Amino acid sequence: MSLYPLTFAPVLKPYTWGGRKLDELAGRAIPAGKIAESWEVSGHPNGETAVLEGPLAGRSLAELQADYGADLVGTRNRQALERTRFPLLIKLLDANEWLSVQVHPGDDYALRHEGDLGKTEMWVVLQADPGAELLFGLERATDRDQLRRAIVENRLESLLHRLPARAGDVFFVPAGTVHALGPGLFLAEIQQSSDATYRVYDWGRDPVGPEPRPLHVEPALEVIDLTAIRPRAVEPHRLSEDGHEIEALAICPFFETHRISLGDGDGYSGACTGETFELWCALTGSIDVAWSGGQAVGTQLQWLLLPARIGPFEVRAAGESTLLRVRTPEPAA
């Protein structure tokens, strides 16, 4: 069966810090209660997404990768094929309360200790309440003993870098960077396909209550990057490509992300020729994607996965649209 642009049924995570913005801002029918995360495109066993429409409806992303291999993910992603894990995980996050202060390990540590990949990630802020902020890296030079004492004495926050966050801001969060999202943030997260998280502080929430959230102080202290001092939001690098307004937001060994602005009816032409898949999402507006086999529609905040062997395609905006394009980069020489 031929591959085509794929949409997925999200997997919802009702964590304690969530809210209702998937309903209020994205217009989605969601269950009652707090919804913190929507795993939009995922091959991770903790939340595999299934195809929403077309002949492959109901098939999980992991099943598709097993069946289609490089035709789905591309030749750049041989390690993903060897690990039988789609390389990226896309989420929408609704922070209605402070998330735990946490850190993610890199690949080597995570594979040794967790049997999972490491987690480098990035955030694109979609909406921010007035005064919204986050903790991101260290405020000043600090050693691990100082961090341990601050955790024991319940004053870790004083050692962390606090900064405001506004709609449109972009933050690149390498593995090892200690961080926490604050209340009033709704954002898209692009990350390695990993669920490895070490919490060092959880704002006094009960670690053994109805929603247990244990802390992982010692492994966190082992992986925190002490050189991540006062990091800032990304300054997008503006590109000119066929008259389009394009911003390079993040390029790392795991993903590269561009933000593209299109006017109503404008089109962007590309091609998936076997090296990598592409993920597209309209943050505002909506899009039509045409390829040799037909046409697909991407509604606002719905992610479309274009398989690596789909060939030439055109993304056309319906209304003024701001788009994200995510793909895997060429391996370093």
Please write the tens of the pLDDT for every residue from 23-63.
999 889 999 999 999 999 999 999 999 999 999 999 999 99
Structure confidence by residue, pLDDT tens digits, 13-26: 999 999 999 999 98
The model's confidence at residue 212, banded by pLDDT at 50, 70 and 90, is low
Whether residues 247 and 152 share a domain: the answer is no
Whether residues 187 and 250 share a domain: the answer is no
Last residue of a domain, one of 167, 196, 223: 223
Q: Is residue 333's pLDDT more than 70?
A: no
Sign of CA dihedral 83, 85, 86, 89: negative
Q: Is residue 88's pLDDT more than 90?
A: yes
Q: Is residue 209's pLDDT more than 70?
A: no
Q: Which helix (H) or strand (E) holds 319?
A: strand 311-327
Q: Is residue 320 part of a domain?
A: yes
Q: Is residue 223's pLDDT more than 70?
A: yes
Q: Is residue 128 part of a domain?
A: yes
Q: Is residue 45 part of a domain?
A: yes
Q: Is residue 77 part of a domain?
A: yes
Whether residues 33 and 176 share a domain: the answer is yes
Q: Is residue 144 part of a domain?
A: yes
Last residue of a domain, one of 223, 249, 267: 223
CATH code, domain with 77: 2.60.120.10
Whether residues 112 and 197 share a domain: the answer is yes
Structure confidence by residue, pLDDT tens digits, 256-304: 999 999 999 999 999 999 999 999 999 999 999 999 999 999 999 999 9
Whether residues 204 and 297 share a domain: the answer is no
Total domains in the chain come to 2
Whether residues 92 and 218 share a domain: the answer is yes
Share of the chain above pLDDT 90, in %: 92
Q: Is residue 231 part of a domain?
A: no
The model's confidence at residue 208, banded by pLDDT at 50, 70 and 90, is low
**pLDDT value, residue 245:** 84
Predicted TM-score (pTM) of this structure: 0.96
Which strands form 11-13's sheet, in the order they lie side by side?
Answer: 11-13, 37-41, 88-95, 185-192, 121-128, 170-173
Whether residues 107 and 159 share a domain: the answer is yes
Q: Is residue 210's pLDDT more than 90?
A: no
Q: For residue 207, what are the domain limits? A: 8-223
Q: Is residue 229 part of a domain?
A: no
**Could you tell me which residues come within 8 angstroms of residue 267 by beta carbon, excluding any fewer than 6 positions away?**
314, 315, 316, 317
Whether residues 264 and 191 share a domain: the answer is no
Distances (CA, A) of 278 to 186, 247, 302, 304: 23, 16, 14, 8
Q: Is residue 49 part of a domain?
A: yes
* Residue pair 94/33 in contact by the 8 Å Cβ criterion: no
Q: Is residue 244's pLDDT more than 90?
A: no
Last residue of a domain, one of 223, 255, 272: 223
Mean pLDDT lowest among 14-18, 41-45, 94-98, 236-240:
236-240
Whether residues 175 and 67 share a domain: the answer is yes
Structure confidence by residue, pLDDT tens digits, 320-331: 999 999 999 998
Q: Distance between CA 283 and CA 170 in Å, rounded?
A: 13
Q: Is residue 64's pLDDT more than 90?
A: yes
Structure confidence by residue, pLDDT tens digits, 104-123: 999 999 999 999 999 999 99
**pLDDT value, residue 312:** 98
Whether residues 278 and 219 share a domain: the answer is no
Whether residues 304 and 156 share a domain: the answer is no
Whether residues 209 and 92 share a domain: the answer is yes
Q: Report, as residue numbers or ranges, the catalytic residues.
A: 199
